Structure 1
Amino acid sequence: MNIGVLSGKGGTGKTTVSTNLAYILKAAYIDSDVEEPNGFIFLKPEIISSEEVKIAYPVIDDEKCTNCGKCAEACQFNALVKTKKDIILFQKLCHGCEACGVACPVGAISFEDRKIGLIEVGMSGDIKCMRGILDIGEPLAVPVIKGLLKRIDSNGVNVIDCSPGTSCNVVNTLQYVDMAILVTEPSEFGLHDLKLAVGLVRKFNIPFGIVINKESSDKNIIRDYCEKENIQIFGSIPYEREIAEIYSNGNMLVDNEKYRNIFKGIAKSAKAVIEWN
């Protein structure tokens, strides 16, 4: 059972919800926000393994190359450019699809691997924790995300901390998700981006519910929207200074009994949405 925790925008409390929910459910925590994976700050796992993520890039044999340009024509990402003298490779634009090698009529292209990130596995008490880390300066997050999600145990319960927004990073993660929890905040920006996230999970036909973070009143634009759209609210987290202090110190909200009960309620609501095994 894979539970995806996502948000239309950054800063809504997605990682707060996913880490504390994983703790309550005794589920594995998977941080697929590979450009800024910060869930380990709170769960503090002991790292037990680390594996490099690599993608292939073309190497052109100048002695064989006839500069016909067919490789550049085949590249959908403009990583190869034909000039008057030779073929230029923009390595970080290459997605490793190897279409250029298929297109080359003289067999002038071979492939080598380069590192773009890491996958780390650790344990926080009884909770298994995994995260992908995209190398600084690398533009391609999806290969790291795919490499991470292929390693999760599909027989267990996994809480997947998704990337913010609705980009291809999130789309690729949702292919592994059985249900979704959308974290939002009661603001105009929060509502705008929540609508995008709702549209995305509905396209995937994924059952979902909402968690409202930083809520100061039970009458707000998020609740009005959810009522209008018939969307279930799993729970809300109050807008309180104490929460900000706990979070800023890198601690878990569930260590506080008052906030633990909030996440127990969220977990209970989430279980009721789908057949829980």
Structure 2
Amino acid sequence: MNIAILSGKGGTGKTTVSTNLALALKANYIDCDVEEPNGFLFLKPYIDEEKEVLVDYPFIDDSKCNSCGKCVRVCQFNSLAKVGDDIMLFQKLCHSCGACKIICDKDAISYKKRSIGNIEKGIFEDIKCIRGVLNVNEPMAVPVIKEVFNNIETNFNLIDCPPGTSCNVVTSLKYANGAILVTEPTEFGLHDMKMALEVVKLFNIPFGIIINKDDKKDNLIKRYCRKNDIEVIGALPYSREVAEIYSMGNILYKNAKYKEVFDNIAIKAREVLKWN
């Protein structure tokens, strides 16, 4: 069972919800926000395993290449370019699709591997934690996200998705059985929540909303959810105390008051997302 935690924008409290709800649900924590995987800053797991994420890239044998340019024309990602009589490769644009090797009738193209990131595994209390870390200056996170899912177990997993609605989010949702969207009661929060909802609906999985920085009023998020028959799973209060605990890198679930909040959210989440 994989439950995805996502948001239409950054800064809504997605990682706050993910890390604390993982403890409330006793679920493994899976950090797929590989460009900024900060969940481990709060859980602080003991990391006992680490491995590189490798991707293929084309290597051109100049002794066989006649610079015909077929590989350049077939590449949909502009990772190859013909400059004079030379074929230039832009490694970081390559999607390792293999089209250039297939079309080369001189057998001048082979593949080598390069590292674009790491997978780290660890333990915090009684839950397993896994995260992907994309190397600095690497533009494509999807291979790292896919490798994260190659390393998870078929247990109960809480997936901390990347923010927004990009292909990184779509890749994460492919593995999800349910989704929780974290938002905040602002116009920006509502706008980006709507975008995230459209993505989630494409996968035909159950979902619900958690409101962060809730003002305890009948705000625009609650009105929108009520109008559109969307379940609100729970809310986190707009509180200076929450900000202080978070700023020190501590877990809200260790505070008795907020432990009760997340335990109640966990109960409602099980009802809304329909798992046993």
TM-score (norm 1): 0.98
**1:151 is the counterpart of 2:151:** yes
| Structure 2: gaps (5+ residues) | none
Q: Mind listing any 5+ residue stretches in structure 1 that lack a counterpart? A: none
* Aligned twin of 1:268: 267
Q: Residue in 2 aligned with 1:129?
A: 129
Contact (CA 8 Å) 2:231, 2:272: kept in 1 or not? no
In structure 2, C-alpha distance between the alignment counterparts of 1:67 and 1:85, rounded to whole Å: 6
Q: Give the letter aligned to residue 67 of structure 2.
A: N
Q: Which amino acid aligns with 1:140?
A: M
Q: Secondary structure at the match of 1:121?
A: strand
Query: Matched residues in 1 for 2:271 and 2:221: separation?
Result: 21
Code of the aligned partner of 1:58: P
Deviates more, 1:174-183 or 1:258-267: 258-267
The Cα shift of 1:262 comes to 1.1
Deviation digits for residues 106-130 of structure 1 (CA, Å, limit 9, x no counterpart): 1000110000000000001111000
Whole-Å Cα distance in 2 between the matches of residues 240 and 274 of structure 1? Answer: 28
SS of match in other structure, 2:243: helix
Q: Which moved more, 1:76-85 or 1:229-238?
A: 76-85
Question: Match for residue 109 of structure 1?
Answer: 109
Q: Which residue of 1 aligns with 2:251?
A: 252
Q: Is it true that 1:209 corresponds to 2:208 in the alignment?
A: yes
Counterpart for residue 68 of structure 2:
68
Q: Secondary structure at the match of 2:96?
A: coil
1:63 counterpart SS class: coil
2:173 counterpart of 1:174: yes
Partner of 1:235: 234
What is the DSSP-based 3-state SS (H/G/I as helix, E as strand, rest coil) of the residue aligned with 1:68?
coil
Instruction: Kindly indicate whether the alpha-carbon contact (under 8 Å) linking 2:7 and 2:182 is maintained by their aligned counterparts in 1.
Output: yes
Which residue of 2 is the match for residue 218 of structure 1? 217
Q: Which residue does 1:29 correspond to in 2? A: 29
Identity %, equivalent residues: 60
> Residues of 1 paired with 2:116 and 2:185: CA distance?
37
Q: How many Å separate the matches in 1 of 2:22 and 2:99? A: 41
**Matched AA of 1:191:** L
- Structure 1 residue 203: deviation in Å? 1.1
In structure 1, how many angstroms separate the alpha carbons of the residues matched to 2:176 and 2:27? 14
| Equivalent pair of 2:207/2:273 in contact (CA under 8 Å) | no
Which amino acid is 1:171 matched to?
Answer: V
Deviation at 1:95, TM superposition (A): 1.2
Report SS of the residue matched to 2:22: helix
The structural deviation recorded for 1:31 is 0.2
Equivalent position amino acid for 1:177 in 2: A
Displacement of 1:98: 1.6
Matched position secondary structure for 1:101: helix
Q: Residue 197 of structure 1 corresponds to which residue in structure 2?
A: 196
Q: Partners of 2:168 and 2:217 in 1: how far apart?
A: 32
1:82 Cα deviation (Å)?
1.4
4-13 or 77-86, which deviates more: 77-86
Return the alpha-carbon distance in structure 1 between the equivalents of residues 218 and 274 of structure 2: 31
Distance 2:220 2:25 in 1: 30
State which drifts further: 217-226 or 130-139: 217-226
Runs of 4+ in 1 over 6 A off after TM superposition: none
The whole-number CA distance in structure 2 between the counterparts of 1:243 and 1:189 is 21
User: In the comparison of the two structures, how many residue pairs are matched?
Assistant: 276
